[in-house]
Chain A
């Protein structure tokens, strides 16, 4: 605690708190302010992307065309994915990283605070540019978020805007990643060795390297789309001797690590929350680190399992099938470690823990369907059906999104010094956990029965389960308004319950951030902490 006391004295001498007024949020370089900006932006985009999802589910409630044109429907599926991936899930984790990484490793701020500000505002610019395509002649991109040529080249005026927005989002992600790596490498407290870092920091370090490796590749691929369309090149145009399949290879070389960019920080937050509420150290810390690194490495060599039906030679199909199935091993290590952490723990079931347990169960389910699709001969049946839609939504919604909510409930008392309403939060959890299964579980049946994805209308045999799925979607969507209510109520004072420095019982054994006062001061760890928690090691 000596560090904290020293910190207070320091603040008394030259007090520079946040800038007054609205300008604070524009020019801030404080990691906590930028973290808040990222998280609020992600929340807003979660509702934008969610609204698009509800338009999709409303159209699919019954067979036949009800509300929107097929073109607009396809724009909705495309934009829903892009907004959720680049606008909601990734920024939410960057928000957590900004808030937590400096506090977890005992650093005063991020290594490059001004670049931090810039990467946030570039993200906003990128997403606004992407959203502007909705109002353009010819509509927003409607060829799917993978932007496959030749279909995507039929996009109207929106194409160059969509591509430039991808560039902006890529630059923003790369700058964020560089910042995170520089912070972790150079700003750790003296006793915070790499193998003593909380797992959240570890997973973000690896994720940041993934981002640096893949974003330039994606930017390159979409730039080639741009030149194919406007400058008469033929990278992916068969007429000029190019190959559209090449785009798919390049895209998925980016795309597969990209899905791990969304799941690795999820693993990190889960590994932070579960030990606190199980009141035990994390089981198998070093195996968790190595498993994360193994998953990240494997993500680069399995890309073509997204393309089994493209006409690959049998040797290629077999290689990508076995390599993909290999991922189940490090992922299984993680799932067993979380289970072992809970084993014989003195568990309590506050909202963050409920969301984390639901994550472990439902992510495993999504993992199993992933394994099913890794089997090349079986994938021919599942490819581009609702089965794949069910699969990746299970690994993203009750996994990444649930863990983002778990993290929000877990850390918000520390950030604001106010307690959230536990009863309402648990109600929010049960509403979400039940409705998310009503929403996505029937999509497995639809997929197995052969309903294709990205279609606004379908054969009547699919009507029943689509109706169930749509009902689940609307319950899930509107339940999230409760989340917003709880979060804003907490920010504005919460339940009035007193929040201790460690917030959760014995949390100070699990991380440096819980040794700081609640609410956390604007500047923390101006001098590095002398002691670090040793519970895990």
Chain B
């Protein structure tokens, strides 16, 4: 094999491998939307979406499940954030309202956003949140206390094995 041949072959190999590098960079970027799509299809990360407010289920009085409400705040978010009740017993299909009180403990106006998460993750698709302060940004004046509400229903199609579900809400300070 002559030196020129070798150079040609090396160039070809390098080009092919650089292409592979490029593909892997694209793959890394594509993982972000792929992850969201995968989570949406399988519902494995407990994210919930806004459900339409005209949902109407027959209430299943035979079944009772426990709904737990947990609250937390992100690092550096100085809000006092609590649900009125830590847990309630509900029947699938009935409309549930839960009140939360949020106090801005800082001396400044704060823009904050809450994010919801349902545990266990695969049950998230059966929790229909129709109204939630977590769907948009909230403004809190310095020292202000606000009462906020979540409205939701549990789909009676919820598989039998789920007896206890948890709705977690976390507030993050998003003031710029």
Contacts and interface: CB of A to CB of B under 8 A. Distances in A.
Q: Are the chains A and B members of one assembly? A: yes
Interface of A: 111-112, 150, 154, 174, 177-178, 181-182, 185-187, 212-217, 219-221, 224, 235, 238-241, 243, 245-246, 249-250, 253, 311-313, 316
Nearest to A151: B75
A220 B25 contact: yes
Interface in B42-85: 42, 44-46, 74-75
B31 A212 contact: no
B28 A216 contact: yes
Q: Is the interface of B mostly helix, strand, loop or mixed?
A: helix
Contacts of A182: 10, 13-14, 17
Nearest to A223: B28
Contacts of A246: 31-32, 35
A139 to B, nearest CB: 18
A92 B132 CA distance: 56
B73 to A, nearest CB: 10
Among B14, B42, B44: residue with most chain A CB under 10 A: B14
Contacts of B27: 216-217
B20 interface: yes
B174 interface: yes
A114 to B, nearest CB: 12
A186 B44 contact: no
B14 A112 contact: yes
B151 interface: no
Given A182-B14, A185-B13, A186-B10, A243 B45 contact: yes
B103 interface: no
Contact of B44 (A213, A219, A221, A313): A313
Given A181-B17, A212-B21, A312-B44, A186 B9 contact: yes
Among B6, B13, B42, B115: residue with most chain A CB under 10 A: B13
A420 B13 CA distance: 39
B156 interface: no
A188 B52 CA distance: 66
Given A212-B20, A239-B115, A311-B121, A217 B14 contact: no
A178 B21 CA distance: 10
11 contacts: A186-B9, A212-B21, A212-B24, A213-B24, A216-B21, A216-B24, A220-B25, A239-B172, A246-B35, A312-B44, A313-B122
A249 B21 contact: no
A240 B170 CA distance: 12
Nearest to B44: A313
Contacts of A253: 31
B29 interface: yes
Contacts of A174: 21
> Interface range on chain B: under 10, 10 to 19, 20 to 34, or 35 or more?
35 or more
B113 interface: yes
Contacts, number: 88
A185 B31 CA distance: 31
B119 interface: yes
B14 A311 contact: no
B119 A238 contact: no
Q: Is the interface of A mostly helix, strand, loop or mixed?
A: helix
Contact of B29 (A177, A214, A220): A220
A240 B113 CA distance: 8
B6 A186 contact: yes
Among B20, B44, B122, B173: residue with most chain A CB under 10 A: B20
Contacts of A111: 6, 10, 13
A208 to B, nearest CB: 9
B21 A241 contact: no
B18 interface: yes
B121 A212 contact: no
A150 B10 CA distance: 43
Contacts of B28: 216-217, 219-221, 250
A212 B18 CA distance: 9
A238 B44 contact: no
B10 A250 contact: no
Given A178-B18, A243-B35, 6 more contacts: A178-B14, A185-B13, A186-B6, A186-B10, A239-B174, A313-B120
A312 B44 CA distance: 7
A112 B31 contact: no
Contact of B74 (A217, A224, A239, A311): A239
A186 B15 CA distance: 14
Contact of B35 (A185, A219, A249): A249
Contacts of B122: 313
Contacts of A311: 46, 119, 121
A185 B16 CA distance: 12
Contact of B115 (A217, A241, A245): A241
